[in-house]
């Protein structure tokens, strides 16, 4: 197994990374020793990006404290580029967390960025051909507002950045790269070909340039899957999404897929779209999570499952036989659930997500009243007592992560197309009616333990098996063990 560097570009890139984080938190398997997400978005205040970064940070905090060899939840290691480099290099790195900080976009118009006023007459004329007045006057504080022609100029600084050099210096021969971008906006459409070009044409003074040129690179390009409400004051107009997509696909045909720069390219989109409020960026851009983002996150897991033989490059670093994939569902329905997914997707996410959902439900409904009452809480040297639930691990990190997980599920359910794998009304009296379109296995034994009593029984069994590792490990391992047995017993998976 190898490291996986993920470049998530723009708002969509952030949201896909968010979905991937929730899948990994639930214990979905990914064949990577370490995952290093780098989120590229000029809009520092972007709501989607900041939400994703918070979730990633909490994931790390939870994993650092609770990881063990038998961990099921949060087992994949997520690292920032900053954590990957040694201390000497770290001081020079301009982006301390998952974000790639772009220089020269804060409070700056595009014309200032290209130093338009100091260009000679001929270059001004050329710039006038490539960029409209509106483009030149555009304030880049909130991103490129759907203008890939601006994005392609600004994002070109990536190759000269400390982030890119550190990425290169930590890139090893068998590591893989995955690029997430939307094709119908500004940042993603511009950033994707640029990053790819900089990887395939890594200059010889770049560390590990030979590895980069021959790297196994996958990408997902996300076609329109949402709209925005018409707003005459906004630069973003959904009517342009399709034409932009066509133009970008035409460009990719020659410069991305056509020249075999990529080893694997995934496509996804949805014609059944919902219009979001028209927000150009900043904190207001907090789009609801969408199933397309979950499916896009699954493409990353799929890419890591592809055998090395399928991702071989020729001597010039181009893919020998690129893989192209699209995502499909078993049944087209206005509301999706696990039952409408294809067998492979279902197989990958049903069990882990159900396990995590069950843990979330117990923590929400039952944990407080169970503390100190049952062996899983009050047995052994290490106890899950009242003190444990006041510690930051539980009260801050796990609670915040779970709140975001719950919001994510609610948002997925209310979007169009909706993804409702779980019944939100499952609770005390019907814990195992948690899955939409799946009936739990019924027991005809009148003395059989039911609902949360069966759950506590399984937690108590887990406590017996797990012993006394540190409290955070014990807590997470017990819930993983118990929910694994419950899912097996109740849903035969």
Kindly tell me which residue out of 372, 407, 428, 439 binds another protein, with binding defined by CB under 8 A: 372
Query: Under a CB-based contact definition with an 8 Å cutoff, are residues 268 and 223 in contact?
Result: yes
Instruction: Compute the distance between CA of residue 355 and CA of residue 319 in angstroms, rounded to an integer.
Output: 38
Task: Give the distance from CA 73 to its chain's centroid.
Answer: 16
In this complex, which beta carbon is closest to another protein, that of residue 240 or of residue 379?
379
> Cβ 368 to another protein, closest distance in Å?
16
79 binds another protein (CB under 8 A): no
375 binds another protein (CB under 8 A): yes
Stretch near another protein under the rule CB under 8 A, chosen from 73-81, 92-100, 296-304, 368-376: 368-376
Q: Which of 433, 460, 443, 360 is nearest to 400 (CA)?
A: 360
Q: Which of 223, 219, 221 is nearest to 303 (CA)?
A: 219
Instruction: Compute the distance between CA of residue 190 and CA of residue 184 in angstroms, rounded to an integer.
Output: 10
In this complex, which beta carbon is closest to another protein, that of residue 72 or of residue 375?
375
In this complex, which beta carbon is closest to another protein, that of residue 307 or of residue 381?
381
Stretch near another protein under the rule CB under 8 A, chosen from 312-320, 375-383, 394-402, 475-483: 375-383
CA atoms within 13 A on the CB side of 260: 13
> Cβ 457 to another protein, closest distance in Å?
6
Size of the residue set binding another protein (CB under 8 A) = 14
In this complex, which beta carbon is closest to another protein, that of residue 140 or of residue 456?
456
Residue 276 phi/psi, 5° resolution? Answer: -90, 165
Which residues from 410-469 bind another protein, rule CB under 8 A?
Answer: 449, 453, 456-457, 460-461, 464
Q: Where are the alpha helices (H) located in 285-383, listed in sequence order?
A: 291-305, 343-365, 367-370, 375-378
> Cβ 449 to another protein, closest distance in Å?
6
In this complex, which beta carbon is closest to another protein, that of residue 184 or of residue 452?
452
> Cβ 369 to another protein, closest distance in Å?
12
Instruction: Compute the distance between CA of residue 114 and CA of residue 127 in angstroms, rounded to an integer.
Output: 9
23 binds another protein (CB under 8 A): no
Q: Which of 11, 14, 59, 16 is nearest to 290 (CA)?
A: 16
For residue 190, give the 3-state DSSP assignment.
helix
149 binds another protein (CB under 8 A): no
Letters for 461-480 (x = contact with another protein by CB under 8 A, - = none) are x--x----------------
Kindly tell me which residue out of 373, 386, 403, 414 binds another protein, with binding defined by CB under 8 A: 373
Instruction: Compute the distance between CA of residue 136 and CA of residue 139 in angstroms, rounded to an integer.
Output: 9
> Cβ 468 to another protein, closest distance in Å?
12
> Cβ 383 to another protein, closest distance in Å?
9
DSSP 287: P
Stretch near another protein under the rule CB under 8 A, chosen from 132-140, 332-340, 374-382, 404-412: 374-382
What is the end-to-end Cα distance of the chain in Å, rounded?
Answer: 27
In this complex, which beta carbon is closest to another protein, that of residue 104 or of residue 467?
467
Q: Which of 12, 3, 77, 58 is nearest to 39 (CA)?
A: 12
Helices then strands, each counted (H, E), the chain = 20, 11
Which residues from 376-395 bind another protein, rule CB under 8 A?
Answer: 378-380
365 binds another protein (CB under 8 A): no
In this complex, which beta carbon is closest to another protein, that of residue 376 or of residue 422?
376
> Cβ 264 to another protein, closest distance in Å?
48
Rg from Cα positions in the chain: 24
In this complex, which beta carbon is closest to another protein, that of residue 270 or of residue 477?
477
227 binds another protein (CB under 8 A): no
Could you tell me what percentage of the chain is helix, strand and coil, using 3-state DSSP and rounding each to the nearest 5? 50, 10, 40
Instruction: Compute the distance between CA of residue 334 and CA of residue 394 in angstroms, rounded to an integer.
Output: 37
In this complex, which beta carbon is closest to another protein, that of residue 183 or of residue 370?
370
- The contact set with another protein (CB under 8 A) reads 372-375, 378-380, 449, 453, 456-457, 460-461, 464
């Amino acid at each position: 197994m190898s490291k996986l560097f993920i470049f998530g570009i723009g708002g969509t890139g952030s949201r896909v990374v968010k979905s991937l984080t929730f899948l990994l938190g639930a214990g979905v398997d990914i064949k990577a020793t370490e995952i290093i997400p780098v989120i590229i978005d000029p809009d520092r205040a972007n709501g989607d990006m900041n939400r994703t970064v918070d979730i990633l940070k909490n994931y790390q905090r939870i994993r650092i404290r609770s990881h063990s060899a038998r961990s099921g939840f949060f087992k994949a290691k997520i690292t920032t580029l900053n954590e990957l480099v040694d201390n000497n290099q770290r001081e020079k790195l301009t982006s301390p967390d998952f974000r790639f900080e772009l220089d020269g976009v804060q409070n700056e118009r595009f014309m200032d960025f290209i130093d338009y006023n100091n260009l000679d007459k001929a270059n001004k004329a050329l710039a006038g051909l490539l960029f409209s007045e509106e483009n030149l006057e555009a304030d880049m504080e909130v991103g490129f507002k759907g203008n890939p022609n601006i994005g392609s100029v600004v994002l070109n600084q990536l190759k000269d950045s400390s982030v890119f050099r550190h990425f290169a210096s930590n890139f090893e021969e068998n590591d893989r790269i995955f690029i997430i971008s939307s094709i119908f906006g500004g940042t993603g459409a511009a950033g994707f070909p640029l990053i790819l070009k900089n990887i395939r044409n890594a200059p010889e003074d770049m560390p590990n340039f030979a590895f980069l040129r021959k790297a196994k690179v996958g990408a997902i390009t996300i076609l329109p899957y949402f709209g925005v409400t018409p707003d005459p004051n906004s630069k973003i107009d959904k009517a342009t999404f399709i034409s932009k997509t066509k133009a970008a696909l035409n460009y990719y045909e020659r410069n991305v897929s056509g020249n075999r720069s990529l080893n694997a390219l995934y496509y996804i989109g949805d014609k059944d779209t919902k219009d979001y409020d028209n927000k150009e960026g900043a904190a207001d851009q907090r789009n609801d999570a969408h199933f397309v983002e979950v499916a896009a996150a699954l493409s990353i897991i799929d890419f890591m499952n592809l055998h090395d033989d399928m991702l071989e490059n020729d001597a010039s670093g181009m893919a020998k036989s690129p893989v192209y994939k699209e995502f499909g569902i078993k049944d087209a329905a206005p509301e999706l659930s696990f039952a409408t997914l294809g067998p492979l997707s279902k197989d990958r996410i049903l069990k882990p997500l159900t396990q995590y959902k069950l843990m979330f439900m117990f923590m929400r409904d039952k944990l407080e009243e169970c503390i100190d009452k049952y062996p899983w809480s009050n047995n052994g040297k290490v106890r899950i007592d009242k003190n444990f639930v006041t510690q930051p691990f539980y009260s801050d990190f796990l609670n915040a992560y779970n709140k975001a997980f719950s919001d994510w599920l609610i948002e997925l359910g209310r979007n169009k197309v909706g993804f409702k794998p779980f019944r939100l009304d499952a609770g005390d009296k019907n814990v195992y009616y948690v899955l939409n379109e799946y009936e739990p296995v019924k027991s005809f034994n009148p003395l059989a333990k039911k609902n949360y009593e069966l759950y506590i029984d399984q937690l108590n069994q887990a406590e017996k098996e797990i012993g006394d590792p540190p409290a955070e490990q014990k807590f997470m391992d017990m819930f993983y063990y118990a929910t694994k047995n419950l899912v097996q017993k109740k849903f035969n998976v």
